[in-house]
């Protein structure tokens, strides 16, 4: 007479086992997004920094926010089958917090080169973390960091670019003065002497500009600008060789080739805000 009771108990046990698979992905995602929401609200209002102290402060706010989000997410139970994947996502989010902390430190030290590197690193790590969390299905965790990080990145670009332009402009102005002090050539011989002094001034100027910290995000633009100038410098060296060889015909040909290169390089410098290195300069 006990068999029905035993069967019922066994059936109940099987039912409990079937329900004991842990948290579902949908529940985990909902709890995760809820945990990230307060932090997202805190960084959503970050203003574009206009100086390094503001950039440091904004990066500090972001770092604290992301660290807090990661801490809360690690308290949640992840779906059993997704634990390795979730651990990877949380590690990626933690790297965003670390990158923001580095940006805070470098901007606080007014180190333009390190700040530019840190800003690029923060953007790259945010893109990676956001892509992973979005692919998993998170709505608030990760993806909501893109906008505040973009705001900080754009501020970092503007701040470092202002310093870059100011320093490059000063270098070009000083180099143009040196060129202006050279005696005007009146023959192939004096032109050779003029160019022998001019080319080293030109080479040092653009080597010094190349050594300046490049604004984050402008690496391609600055490289393109300096590449255009390198083509001009190469022609100036050819002109020097032609003048030293007293070869007027070759010199005329080099001058003709140089004209379009100079115009192109000047346009790039002017567009970047460096007219004293472009149309207003001697190079």
Q: How confident is the prediction along the chain (283 residues), in pLDDT tens digits per residue?
A: 444 444 444 444 444 434 445 899 999 999 999 999 999 999 999 999 999 999 999 999 999 999 999 999 999 999 999 999 999 999 999 999 999 999 999 999 999 999 999 999 999 999 999 999 999 999 999 999 999 999 999 999 999 999 999 999 999 999 999 999 999 999 999 999 999 999 999 999 999 999 999 999 999 999 999 999 999 999 999 999 999 999 999 999 999 999 999 999 999 999 999 999 999 999 9
CA distance 238 to 254: 7
In a 3-state reduction of DSSP, which class is residue 195? helix
Max Cα-Cα span within the chain:
125
How many C-beta atoms surround the C-beta of residue 12 within 10 A?
10
Residue 22 confidence (pLDDT): 85
CA distance 178 to 197: 10
Give the pTM.
0.86
User: In Å, how far are 1, 62, 105, 199, 223 from 230, measured between CA atoms?
Assistant: 99, 40, 35, 12, 10
- Report yes or no: 283 and 261 within 8 Å, Cβ to Cβ: no
In a 3-state reduction of DSSP, which class is residue 277? coil
Residue 72 confidence (pLDDT): 97
275 Cβ contact list (under 8 Å, min separation 6): 269, 281
User: In Å, how far are 99, 216, 242, 263 from 221, measured between CA atoms?
Assistant: 24, 11, 32, 17
Residue with the two structure tokens 């948290």: 23
User: In Å, how far are 38, 60, 258 from 42, measured between CA atoms?
Assistant: 7, 12, 55
Residue 28 confidence (pLDDT): 97
CA distance 190 to 207: 26
How many C-beta atoms surround the C-beta of residue 202 within 10 A?
22
**Domain boundary assignment for the chain:** 23-159, 182-271
Residue 242 confidence (pLDDT): 97
Residue 19 confidence (pLDDT): 43
């Amino acid at each position: 007479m006990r068999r029905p009771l035993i069967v019922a108990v066994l059936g109940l046990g099987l039912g409990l086992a079937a329900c004991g698979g842990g948290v579902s992905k949908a529940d985990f995602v909902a709890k995760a997004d809820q945990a990230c929401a307060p932090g997202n609200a805190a960084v959503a209002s970050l203003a574009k920094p206009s100086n390094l102290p503001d950039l440091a402060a904004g990066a500090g706010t972001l770092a604290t926010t992301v660290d807090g989000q990661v801490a809360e997410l690690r308290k949640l139970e992840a779906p059993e089958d997704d634990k390795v994947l979730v651990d990877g996502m949380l590690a990626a989010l933690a790297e965003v917090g670390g990158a923001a902390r580095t940006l805070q430190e470098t901007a606080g030290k007014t180190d333009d080169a390190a700040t530019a590197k840190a800003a690029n690193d923060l953007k790259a790590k945010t893109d990676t973390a956001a892509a992973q969390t979005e692919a998993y299905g998170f709505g608030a965790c990760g993806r909501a960091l893109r906008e505040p990080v973009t705001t900080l990145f754009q501020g970092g670009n503007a701040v470092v670019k202002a310093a870059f332009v100011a320093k490059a402009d000063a270098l070009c102005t000083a180099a143009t003065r040196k060129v202006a002090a050279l005696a005007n050539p009146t023959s192939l011989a004096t032109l050779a002497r003029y160019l022998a002094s001019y080319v080293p001034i030109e080479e040092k100027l653009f080597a010094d500009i190349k050594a300046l910290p490049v604004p984050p995000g402008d690496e391609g633009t600055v490289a393109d600008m300096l590449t255009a100038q390198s083509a001009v410098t190469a022609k100036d060296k050819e002109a020097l060789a032609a003048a030293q060889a007293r070869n007027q015909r070759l010199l005329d040909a080099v001058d003709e080739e140089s004209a379009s290169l100079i115009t192109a390089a000047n346009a790039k410098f002017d567009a970047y805000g460096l007219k004293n290195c472009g149309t207003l300069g001697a190079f």
